Structure 1
């Protein structure tokens, strides 16, 4: 296995070198780009950030508001300009000689999106985009950080998370999750065992600088897994040439005694770039505002109001090296995620009081537990070819997941050696190629090809899913067209072909502890071939200077996954027996997305309704029957139906003055089974959040960027539940935070202090996997984060 892994890495590095080398050695004319940045009152803006998207290079304006880029090749480019207190400017231009571009920025007091707001895959800026996209940056993540990345994203309307304790979670977009939400990092879709409700997202949130969240179907670009939306994690912006930056982050939390640290260093020496990060965090059993819970009419204790065996530890590493030249840029990134997390012992089989007794150590991890390791090597290149841009992303991933529990004999068979109940090893090879052609100032095309190969091997003394291989190849074309300065159209078409080979698994039936009497077939050989088209059209129209309207209509698809076709076993982490159906066909969805936004002066408002109709919607539903397998709980089965999902989000922000602003957000999702006339399971309830924030850019020479925030989020009762699904009562949570940057001589230190569930409210999260056991969510939690940044110059030799 180690040999296979090493070979995969070497191949990827060699391929990256061979396709980049010809561009690095090519000779071509060079030109310069210069200009001045000022505001509408003709005041020069020194220190403004100017960034060229395709080259991934940036600079800042000098004391006279001037900027310059030297040695730029002829071609088409997109430039972004950002300055605090002003709207971001996006400028599209072509280089065929020396150019001078002066840009005027409009002032604003609203919290706008991060300055690189261009959708990276298709090079579409916010004005031209026909779908709802949220953009967040490192500052947002630090101010709103949860224990995991998916929990951090819950601040955004339309985004929820499915949680298993405090350290394991996965994102939900408009009520859809699992294989309906794609997470891409550095151009490569994350491939773990994302079908599992108890399988978290294997990504270090401290290694994230920029994120685009596309709410709505994105199968056109990202393929089958993007029916609900995409979380696109983009590479960090490279430091200016011959500079370096670094930071040390320290954090702690009171509810689960979390202690964490993350250290990063990055630099750019003559266009040779590097970035390294190490992260560690560990946490203890978390506290809940209850000393007992009721399961199946039994009252069971929670000793010390701490949920036993919910501690965990996480270690992550990432490194990036690359080249940044006038022909483009190329990088190779290695990353490793390693998590060991305990599971509440009541989750395995029927909860018993003797299993829940305190063991004397809140930080130890006993059985049951899970270990997850995710290794990735990713190569990204953006190359100038015939005055247009060729993007090549390649990746190898290895996801190794182990679920641990006390071994037991099957019938009369022998007791297994070891405690690995479920062992899943998934290897994925991915390649994506896109070529963007600027046909004219009004129109451009993007042509894309992608391929994916997966191999999954199982082990452990329990069976859940079999071995399988999957092959996928796809191609797409996308066009955007500008009718005039206010009206933009886009359209695209994609075709996918997937071949899935699932292998038979026979489970032995023992005569005694040694002799095998016969075999039981848990699943048969399954060969499936899925071919699907997806497409869409959209528009963005500036009704006036202050109003924008968006419309997107499309059709998307999703091929059934191995667990939906062939699972047949106890999934203890999700507290159920899951059973697949080999006859399932592809899902087909038809989507309508709308958007209306208003931005004038100190007020911003946006409304984003949606309506989706699905043929052959695949979902896991309680059967109402208990499993015949030991400690199996209720049997859940995969079924297909006709379904609709509808709802929307709204967002408003108003500045009372330069320092004080009020925000209001809300979200609603309704998901319904048309054939059975029941709601679909695991649908988040309606929620609304109101917040007030007071910001002071400067208090004195010592304190800068100080803020105080208080917010309340109300969740309605979720009574629209599937058959045999628990209803969840409504609740209100109070939260607050404050932070500042303090200058100690020449060193800046940033402090952020926050409190969640200020009133220590006892409540149930409808999407929590512990909801099935009537376990309430964590109680009051104080958090502190300290960030110490460093920066400097790299000496030229």
Structure 2
């Protein structure tokens, strides 16, 4: 039992209560407490954003997942999945949408890399976020183009309190690929000035699978020692933040760098051969093919207070340098650099918040400029320059505590200039002619969009929410001008310069009901997309375009536009029969259809149910306060609704377990968590995995342990 009272030291005691025991007396010791400045910060417009289904994970919940990537840590939430390339690269999926159809905001700025690629991860330190908010549904109104499917907002830890110091150390180990991860952070504040420094790193080896062979194009190839050769990798990350907090508001600046080098299974970019699969005696080396990504970012956030109103200004510079290394694939090549993509981005977001008695408003302006260049002996994406701008106004009005209306309008303008690119054709080591990969492309886009929604909560334990919105997405550079063999998708991809803006009209409905110890949430969504952009197979082969430029002769897939529909929903249950026992379950389903081909859209997540049960008990000691035990089961259905040339994937069941505790020794506190995944060592395929195309199974049984230490003074 823990007893606290203002002005007195807390008292923590453990005792055994017997039926015949009489009254007990506890005496607290007085304590003088000096309160520093107290500032309460709540997300303005929170009710409005909650019109769309929203999930939130704090830093502790994120660490308890024991996942090495942010995208994989979110997979237990309803409606969230990940596209995996091995175990070190993961891309988030919201309700079946990913790539350029969802936005990832980090510190208020849209994360800009080469997100159009399936094998391109988030390029964000998984130890960095203090809180993650996932908004599911049409979010273009507030966040801009690419927000059709939803938004993932990554927030840094809170600003340190004045006259405080804190140091943390986080460690992570995975048994499957012998991953070792560590992150150290120190932060403090004095006289209104604060700082935070974090250093992180991860190293992992080739990962194990519950199989000794796989089938590629009817060829049965070996997997030696149950390990996929050349799937190791490493990360090295840092961030430094400093700022000032005064009565007028606050301002801070963060400099960060994410660096990852990850090996790719030899079959990921070409035909695997038996000799390439033979073990080399080292499960941690990184050989070709591999990818190397470096994301450098300088971001600033300023908040200016104007009485009951305030202004927020986010500005950032990002430099994303991506390299893909492989052999020459039979071409004349110098070195191993197949693709070198350098993307420079300048961003600015300005928001003005107005607050009245029953009405709140946000006026926002977003600006972004980009320049992308290319290197390497292979060609996919041309050099281009892009500018985007958007102005929006959001308002919410409440009629008492039971009814709230929210709506807004947005206007956007952008342009993209893509350089013409020609590739030299060699014969006998001499340039004989040039092949034009793409002509010069200049496109302008303008768009108007809006949304309207309401919240009705007649009872404290029951509420209804509805939101209708129009969203949009401008064609990306790869959709307009890509032209080459994309080894990440095992096909020749060709752009389409005639593409128009993609438009969506979406309806979201949700209800929350609480009955005693049971809480239920039902979220339904439906959408109609006009000019939906997708890759479609053609009757043309690469060799027919130019046999010298495309000797590999694969089938050409070209970006096209048709109308499409999306629908589905999530059902969440949270039942706590006793204060020690808690049961949670989440069901999700996504349906889509190409209205032209009458076929499903590619890479649609299969229906699934994730359930877990926790038992929490007090340990009764001063060092360890409680123990939390959990068991979970993921049931994934068969996915037979596939696009043309896409394989169906069978269903599977994954059993997992977890145990965790919190400890405190003086001013040192921490968490110890252990998790187990795929306890039965089941062989299964993930429909969203890039390696699914190679008939490669997912990782085998894995045990993870994380240990966190916190030292704080105030």
Shared fold, TM over 0.5: yes
Summarize the Cα distance change of 1:66–1:124 in structure 2 as closer, same or farther, 3 Å threshold: farther
- Which residue, 411, 420, 445 being the options, matches 1:495? 411
Match of 1:150 among 41, 58, 71: 71
- Whether the 8 Å contact between 2:289 and 2:324 is mirrored in structure 1 is yes
- Residue 476 of structure 2: aligned partner: 561
1:382 aligns with 2:303: yes
2:121 paired residue number:
200
Find the partner of 1:420 among 315, 324, 337. Answer: 337
| 1:616 partnered with 2:506 | no
Q: How much has 1:630 moved relative to structure 2?
A: 4.3
Alignment of 1:469 with 2:424, yes or no, is: no
Q: CA deviation at 1:443?
A: 0.4
**Is contact 1:498-1:529 (8 Å) kept?**
yes
- Judging changes above 3 Å, is the alpha-carbon distance between structure 1 residues 545 and 71 closer, same or farther for their aligned structure 2 residues? closer
SS for the counterpart of 1:543 is strand
Equivalent residue runs for 1:119-198 within 5 Å: 123-126=44-47, 129-198=50-119
How many residues get paired? Answer: 687
Q: Is the 8 A contact 1:688 1:715 kept in 2?
A: yes
Partner of 1:108: none
Instruction: Check 1:634–1:347 CA distance in 2 against 1; reply closer, same or farther (3 A cut).
Output: farther
Residues in 1 aligned to 2:407 and 2:420: alpha-carbon distance in whole angstroms: 42
Match of 2:402 in 1: 486
- How far apart in 1 are the matches of 2:86 and 2:141? 34
Deviation at 1:601, TM superposition (A): 3.7
The superposition leaves residues 571-605 of structure 1 with CA deviations (integer Å, 9 ceiling, x where unpaired) of 22332221111111110100000110013442211
1:699 CA drift (Å): 3.1
In 1, Cα distance between equivalents of 2:401 and 2:553:
61
Alignment of 1:500-579 (within 5 A): 500-514=416-430, 516-579=431-494
Q: CA deviation at 1:511?
A: 3.7
Note if 1:753 corresponds to 2:674.
yes
1:407 Cα offset (Å)? 2.5
Question: Is the CA contact (8 Å cut-off) linking 1:145 and 1:151 kept in structure 2?
Answer: no
Please say if residues 350 and 631 of structure 1, whose CA atoms lie closer than 8 Å, have aligned partners that are also in contact.
no
Q: Distance in 1 between matches of 2:699 and 2:556?
A: 28
Asked whether the equivalents of residues 346 and 355 of structure 1 are also in contact (C-alpha less than 8 Å), the reply is no
Task: Spell out, residue by residue over 1:433-472, the C-alpha distance to the aligned partner (whole angstroms, 9 max, x if none).
Answer: 110111x210021111111000000010000010000011
> Displacement, 1:391?
0.6
For the aligned residue pairs, the C-alpha RMSD in angstroms reads 2.2
SS of alignment partner, residue 573 of structure 1:
coil
Q: What is the correspondence of 1:279-358 to structure 2 with a 5 Å cutoff?
A: 279-358=200-279
What SS does the corresponding residue of 1:304 show, helix, strand or coil? helix
**What is the aligned partner in structure 1 of residue 162 from structure 2?**
241
SS in 2 for 1:379: strand
> Tell me, what secondary structure is at the counterpart of 1:431?
strand
Q: Equivalents in 2 of 1:660, 1:461: separation in Å?
A: 59
Over 3 Å counting, the alpha-carbon distance change for 1:345 and 1:45 in structure 2 is: farther
Could you say if the C-alpha distance between residues 639 and 504 of structure 1 is closer, same or farther in structure 2, counting changes exceeding 3 Å? same
Following superposition, the deviation at residue 766 of structure 1 comes to 0.2
Secondary structure of the structure 2 residue equivalent to 1:574:
coil
- Quick one: distance in 1 between partners of 2:483 and 2:357? 56
SS in 2 for 1:771: helix
Pick closer, same or farther for the CA change 1:285–1:668 going to 2, 3 Å.
Answer: same
Partner in structure 2 of residue 734 of structure 1: 655
Q: Among residues 334, 349, 353, which one is paired with 1:432 in the alignment?
A: 349
Task: Name the structure 2 match of 1:393.
Answer: 314
1:271 Cα deviation after fit: 1.5
1:726: Cα distance to partner?
A: 0.4
- Does residue 676 (structure 1) correspond to residue 597 (structure 2)? The answer is yes
Task: Decide whether the 8 Å contact of 2:392 with 2:411 is kept in 1.
Answer: yes
Q: Is the 8 A contact 1:652 1:664 kept in 2?
A: yes
Q: Secondary structure at the match of 2:46?
A: coil
In structure 2, relative to structure 1, the CA distance for the partners of 1:600 and 1:127 (3 Å cut) is: farther
2:16 counterpart residue number: none
* Superposition TM-score, scaled by structure 2 size: 0.93
Q: Does 1:460 align with 2:376?
A: yes
Pick closer, same or farther for the CA change 1:582–1:475 going to 2, 3 Å.
same
8 Å CA contact 2:76–2:610 kept in 1: the answer is no
Q: CA deviation at 1:622?
A: 4.2
1:371 paired to 2:288:
no
SS at match of 2:372: strand
Q: CA shift at 1:749, angstroms?
A: 3.7
CA distance in 2, matches of 1:496, 1:67: 50
- SS state of the match for residue 140, structure 1? helix
Q: Any gaps of 5 or more consecutive residues in structure 2?
A: 11-28, 544-549
Q: Distance in 2 between the 1:65 and 1:228 partners?
A: 52
Q: What CA deviation, in whole Å up to 9, does each residue of 1:657-709 have, x standing for no partner? A: 11110111111001110111000000000000111001235532221242111
Deviation of 1:386 after TM superposition, in Å, equals 5.7
The 2-side partners of 1:602 and 1:66 are apart by 38
- For structure 1, which segment, 692-701 or 278-287, has the greater mean C-alpha deviation from structure 2 after superposition? 692-701
Distance 1:680 1:301 in 2: 33
In 1, the alpha carbon distance for the partners of 2:32 and 2:527 equals 48
Is 1:585 paired with 2:500?
yes
Distance (Å, rounded) in 2 between the aligned partners of 1:205 and 1:63 = 43
Q: How far 1:478 sits from its partner (Å)?
A: 0.6
3-state SS of the aligned residue for 2:649?
Answer: coil
Q: State the Cα distance separating 1:787 from its structure 2 match.
A: 0.6
Counting only pairs closer than 5 Å after superposition, residues 187-266 of structure 1 correspond to structure 2 as: 187-266=108-187
- Residue 770 of structure 1 aligns to a residue in which SS? helix
- Report the Cα distance in structure 2 between the residues aligned to 1:657 and 1:708, rounded to whole angstroms: 15
Alpha-carbon shift at residue 248 of structure 1 (Å) = 0.7
For residues 407 and 287 of structure 1, do their structure 2 counterparts lie closer, same or farther at Cα, with a shift above 3 Å needed? same
Is 1:215–1:228's contact at 8 Å kept on the other side of the alignment?
A: yes
Contact kept? 1:622, 1:725, Cα under 8 Å: no
Q: 1 CA distance for matches of 2:32 and 2:53?
A: 33
1:91 aligns to what?
none
* Shift in alpha-carbon separation, 1:538–1:505, aligned structure 2, 3 A: same
**Is there any run of 5+ residues in structure 1 with no aligned partner, and where?**
1-41, 49-61, 73-78, 81-115
Contact between 1:276 and 1:318, CA under 8 Å: does it hold in 2? yes
- CA deviations 1:142-184 (Å, max 9, x no partner) are 1113221101110111000000000001100000000001000
Q: What is the SS of the residue equivalent to 1:718?
A: coil
Name the structure 1 match of 2:547: none
Question: Distance between the aligned counterparts of 1:679 and 1:193, measured in 2?
Answer: 26
1:406 maps to 327
Query: How far did 1:297 drift?
Result: 1.2
Alpha-carbon deviations, 1:333-356, whole Å to 9, x = none?
Answer: 111000000000012222221221
Q: How far did 1:624 drift?
A: 7.1
Name the structure 2 match of 1:53: none
* Contact kept in structure 2, 1:349 and 1:631, CA below 8 Å: no
Distance of aligned partners of 1:408 and 1:353 in 2 relative to their CA distance in 1, 3 Å threshold: closer
